[in-house]
Amino acid sequence: MGNPAAYWRNWAMDQGVDDGVALRAHNTLLYDGFALDGDMAASSEITPKGIELVESHSLVPAEEIAAEREHRDIVIRALQHAGIVYRNFNVGFGKFAEMLSLSDEQVFRAMHYLSMFGYVRCPDYESYSITPQGIAFIERSNLPLKLRQLKEGRLPPARRGYALEDILSQIARNEGWEVRTRDRSASGEENDLVISRHRDIWIISCKWTKARASDVELRDLVARVSRRSSLRGILVSMAGFSESAIRNASNGREMVLFVGPGDVDRLASGSLTLDSMLTQKFAALEVSKTITWS
């Protein structure tokens, strides 16, 4: 495949980049898991983690990212439909692209992405099938629409709160959390939503009214969290939080994090993971006694 050093010197020369800088950058990407390398010559390949880095940091134009995502959505939904209707889907690659009114390259790039993430199986690009992970991907992609419909609808506050719980439940399940809804404790208390993984157990309380969440909601959640040392709380409010609630949560003995409407939007869109959100909010409260929300 060629000499690696010579390959990178030639690439750096074409790009106007110092070849030593290019080689070190390449090695860093390999080390951090953003790229895979066959012989470090002409066979380097971006990984799913690398694709997420590119898209989340807008390293290519936004319109290109939007187009790629649209093509992936078209392809995977077509496979979902084919799987439901026909059970098996065998068709030549060019014919499949023609059916979707996309170019061969657009479908290939979309299929390559989807297969890298394990959403579809296409061993020979002649037969295709959607995986359980692919079904979860479709469900996750529907979340922003569901959230927008809730915002635009006129459901009573209680029903909006339950619908918000369902969205958060789906997000948690997609990230591998065990989820229990309408969970009733041994003492008879009912928790809106409980998520757990390993030794992490979070009780989530959702509020979607015009009024900001106040000390009343905070005290209720703190009372439930304080019953066991392994429990932590998340108070979700689509109207934000009162200054008093923020101050008391910051100084409280129990770990209760606040999640606002901006946080929920980012979770639903996939631009923020539940894991990273909890890590950031936990660190801010634990280290600097700061409640963060958006």
Please check whether residue 113 lies inside any domain of the structure: yes
Residues 23 and 48 in one domain: yes
Beta-strand pair 127-130/89-90: antiparallel
Please check whether residue 90 lies inside any domain of the structure: yes
Residues 253 and 237 in one domain: yes
Please check whether residue 293 lies inside any domain of the structure: no
Q: Is-contact 171 140, C-beta < 8 A?
A: yes
Residue 62 has pLDDT above 80, yes or no: yes
Per-residue pLDDT band at 88 (split at 50, 70, 90): low
Mean pLDDT (whole number) for 157-161: 87
Residues 101 and 223 in one domain: no
Residues 125 and 157 in one domain: no
Of 140 and 207, the structure prediction assigns the larger pLDDT to 207
Domain end (from 123, 140, 157): 140
Residue 105 has pLDDT above 50, yes or no: yes
Residues 149 and 284 in one domain: yes
Residues 115 and 226 in one domain: no
Which of 13-17, 202-206, 262-266 comes out lowest in average pLDDT? Answer: 13-17
Please check whether residue 188 lies inside any domain of the structure: yes
pLDDT computed for residue 236 by the predictor: 97
Domain end (from 140, 171, 192): 140
Please check whether residue 256 lies inside any domain of the structure: yes
Per-residue pLDDT band at 293 (split at 50, 70, 90): very high
The CATH number linked to 92 is 1.10.10.10
Per-residue pLDDT band at 39 (split at 50, 70, 90): low
The CATH number linked to 187 is 3.40.1350.10
Per-residue pLDDT band at 40 (split at 50, 70, 90): very low
Question: Residue 102: which domain range?
Answer: 62-140
The CATH number linked to 40 is 1.10.10
Residues 260 and 158 in one domain: yes
Domain end (from 140, 166, 184): 140
Please check whether residue 205 lies inside any domain of the structure: yes
Domain total of the chain: 3
Residues 153 and 219 in one domain: yes
Residue 186 has pLDDT above 70, yes or no: no
Residues 147 and 136 in one domain: no
Residues 148 and 284 in one domain: yes
Residues 151 and 235 in one domain: yes
Mean pLDDT (whole number) for 114-127: 81
Residues 45 and 88 in one domain: no
pLDDT computed for residue 84 by the predictor: 61
Residue 174 has pLDDT above 90, yes or no: no
Please check whether residue 36 lies inside any domain of the structure: yes
Please check whether residue 294 lies inside any domain of the structure: no
